[in-house]
Amino acid sequence: MWQYFCYEPSVDRSSCQVPDCGSSLKGKNATNMLTHLKSKHKNIAEEIAAAEQQRKLKDKTSGNQQHLSDMVRNMTSLCM
Ligand SMILES: [Zn+2]
């Protein structure tokens, strides 16, 4: 659903999948991805924030750490 990044293990980089962006970020870091989305693709960052808000209301038991790793899993896919 949020596969906005494509992770390339061989170079340890995640490339942004938004058309015409072409940016790639080092590693698989949710914070960096969110920072990128917030600065370059504000509409997408807002969608994610809204979806997270819904999730938090549903699941109050998960800690922040878990929440961030879930976010990375949801946002990235392996490059084909
Ligand atoms: Zn981008």
Q: How far apart are CA 3 and CA 74, in angstroms?
A: 6
pLDDT (0 to 100) of residue 53: 85
pLDDT (0 to 100) of residue 24: 95
Q: 60: number of CA atoms within 13 Å, CB side? A: 1
Q: What is the DSSP letter of 72?
A: H
Neighbours of ion ligand 1 (CB under 5 A): 16, 18, 21, 23, 40
Ligand 1 centroid vs 50 CA: distance in angstroms? 19
Q: What is the pTM of this model?
A: 0.74
Give domain limits for the chain: 5-78
Using CB atoms within 10 Å of the CB of residue 7, give its burial: 0 to 12 exposed, 13 to 18 middle, 19+ buried: buried
pLDDT (0 to 100) of residue 1: 38
C-alpha distance from residue 5 to each of 13, 30, 33, 56 (Å): 10, 10, 8, 23
pLDDT (0 to 100) of residue 55: 80
